[in-house]
Amino acid sequence: MPAAVAGSLALAAATLTGTAGAATDTRTGAIAAAAAPSHLSGTLADGATWIADVPADWNGTLLLFSHGYGPAVAQNAPSDEARTALLSEGYALAGSSFDPQGSWWALNSAERDQFATLDAFGRTAGRPSRVLSVGLSMGGLVNAQIARDGAGRVHGALGLCGLVAGGVDLDNYQYDAEYTIASLLMPGQEVRLTGFADAADAAATAQRLTDAVTAAQATPQGRARIALAAAYLNQSDWAPDHDPPAAGDPEGQEAQQFAWLSQGVLGFIENGRWSIEQSAGGNTSWNAGIDYAALLRDSEHAGQVRALYRKAGLDLRADLATLTRGAHLHADPGARRRLEASSTAGQRLAVPLLNLHTIADQLVPVQQETAFAERVRAAGDDRLLRQAYVARQGHCAFTTAEIVAGVRAIDRRVTTGRWGDVAEPAVLQRSALSLNLGGAAFVRYRPGRLVVGR
């Protein structure tokens, strides 16, 4: 048992509570190792809860897990299966709920709560010899912030399907898609796209947009306009239960983009916008002054859109002019500043970071990795960043084997002090397949540019 474990584990399945990030603990001396993992929990100063699991044969490394968008419930692993596998590898796991009084877009408290969880874990279970931060989806953005700010507290970081382009870019490119649907598929209708009163208001807009897309799919003209909105959304053209469409098959590409849009993506987007506006205190999107023709030229799907417009006999220039002419939305200045302060990452890195992403992610487009890498490179920290890709459809659709292989890779990078080939797709693939935990599909891949235009 490593030195970091000394003075830990007398309390199998213990539940500990406390304040100011500390857990109340009247015990002294060492906690005897138990055959099963010990479960710990506590309460932080802002009311957030934290949980941890420590295996009897703890290797001294703590995985500090940041959960994704959703209710403020403490989580310490991406899935139950991943928790079991990582505990069997000897890792301790910890994570917080984030502030339960705040928005589901928990960036105002998440990084602070994660560092407080780290402190509480150290006081309760013993100081770990190494800390690796892990984050999923929205938690991937938190994870990138921890990788930026965590010098001396964490040693490396693993991002899983991370929303690493940040909240400002997210709100803007999603708005462009919503605005395109409302303007071209619902002309003359009043459609609330920002400033939702509550979750029900957001859901009502999502349903109207989804209904408009569903109706438009019946005509060539509608399909062309759906493809235009999907291009602004950076929407994947590889949907579940389909093979990837051929590069020269614009109809097949649009059909799979429609499959995503008609199966709940817009509902998730609108609920997320309401949560972000709650967190920031107002509308954070703007399109005043945006040239929608120039914006389309940035998209890897521009050729697809042009082909579908030609086939439909539609004037693409006219539609783009309509969008540019109607672009008058301004963000609330204070809300924009607050979101920029809370919900960006990538300017610097203090520790090595490995990001994993599925190549067909319908909620956090893989192109976000391109935007993030450009910012890290501009800051001069690209030596600390590696990105790896999995050929699969779906948001965060990793197998347990892929997750554990990612943890092993960043652990090795920290141990050796160099990347070597640890983040190469063939090496990750071999590592994952050796685990017999659900297969793997690591591939060499380069994502396109994120279409944002701001």
If asked whether residues 175 and 225 sit together in one domain, one would say yes
Closest CA to 259 of 231, 236, 234, 239: 239
pLDDT of the residue at 35: 53
* 29 within some domain: no
Best CA proximity match to 106, nearest among 80, 62, 70: 70
Q: Which of 338, 354, 412 is nearest to 130 (CA)?
A: 412
In a domain, 106, yes or no: yes
Question: In this structure, what DSSP letter does residue 261 have?
Answer: I
Parts of the chain with a pLDDT under 50: 1-34
Type of residue found at 366: V
How many structural domains is the chain composed of?
A: 2
pLDDT single digits (tens) 11-55: 222 333 333 333 333 222 233 334 588 999 999 999 999 999 999
Domain co-membership, 183 together with 148:
no
- Give CA–CA dist 187/75, Å, rounded: 44
Q: Which of 318, 340, 362 is the last residue of a domain?
A: 340
The answer to whether residue 326 is domain-embedded is yes
> What is the pLDDT, as a whole number, of residue 36?
82
In a domain, 448, yes or no: no
Sort strands 442-443 and 385-393 into parallel, antiparallel or unpaired.
antiparallel
> For the domain that residue 401 is a member of, what is the CATH number?
3.40.50.1820
Distance CA 410, CA 143 (A): 13
Q: Are residues 188 and 110 in the same domain?
A: no
Please state the φ and ψ torsions of residue 389, each to the nearest 5 degrees.
Answer: -130, 145
Please state the pTM of the whole predicted model: 0.91
Give the residues across from 130 on adjacent strands: 61
Cα first-last separation, the chain: 52
Helices marked H in 16-92 — which ranges? 80-88
Q: Which helix (H) or strand (E) holds 66?
A: strand 61-66
93, 83 Cβ separation under 8 angstroms: yes
Helix intervals (H) in 89-166? 110-125, 138-149
Q: Which stretches within 379-420 are classed as H helix?
A: 400-416
Range of the structural domain that residue 95 is part of: 41-165+344-443
Residue 21 placed within a domain: no
Distance of CA 397 to the CA centre of its chain: 12
Task: List the one residue out of 145, 86, 91, 136 whose CA is nearest residue 115.
Answer: 145
Q: Is residue 415 part of a domain?
A: yes
CA distance 413 to 353: 9
Q: Would residue 363 be called left, alpha or beta, if left means φ above 0 and alpha means ψ between -120 and 50 degrees? A: alpha
Structure tokens at 30: 């060492």
Are 86 and 176 in the same domain?
A: no
Tokens, residue 172: 């803007």
Residue 206 domain flag: yes
Q: Strand, helix or coil at 20? A: coil
Q: Are residues 204 and 218 in the same domain?
A: yes
Nearest to 144 by CA among 384, 434, 322, 391: 384
> Do 95 and 79 belong to one domain?
yes
Tens-digit pLDDT profile for residues 152-167: 999 999 999 999 999 9
Residues 112 and 241 in one domain: no
Rounded-to-5 percentages of helix, strand, coil across the chain: 45, 15, 45
Buried b (16+ CB within 10 A) or exposed e, 102-138: bbbbbbbbbbbbbbbbbbbbbebbbbbebbbbbbbbb
Q: Are residues 317 and 184 in the same domain?
A: yes
Q: Which strand (E) or helix (H) includes residue 358?
A: strand 353-360
Sign of CA dihedral 331, 333, 337, 342: negative
- The per-residue pLDDT for 346 is 83
Buried b (16+ CB within 10 A) or exposed e, 435-444: bebbebbbee
Task: Please check whether residues 139 and 226 belong to one and the same domain.
Answer: no
Question: For tokens 């991002």, what's the residue?
Answer: 159
| Average model confidence (pLDDT) across the chain | 92
Q: Domain end: 282, 315, 340, which one? A: 340
Q: Show which of 283, 305, 340 is a domain's final residue.
A: 340
Q: Amino acid letter at 108?
A: N
DSSP helix/strand/coil, 215: helix
Q: Are residues 217 and 297 in the same domain?
A: yes
Q: How far is CA 53 from CA 76, 129, 159, in A?
A: 8, 16, 20
229/329 same-domain check: yes
Q: For residue 174, is it within any domain? A: yes
Q: Which residues pair with 50 in a beta bridge?
A: 42, 96
Give the gyration radius of the chain's Cα atoms: 23
- What pLDDT does residue 8 have? 32
Same domain, residue pair 307 and 186: yes
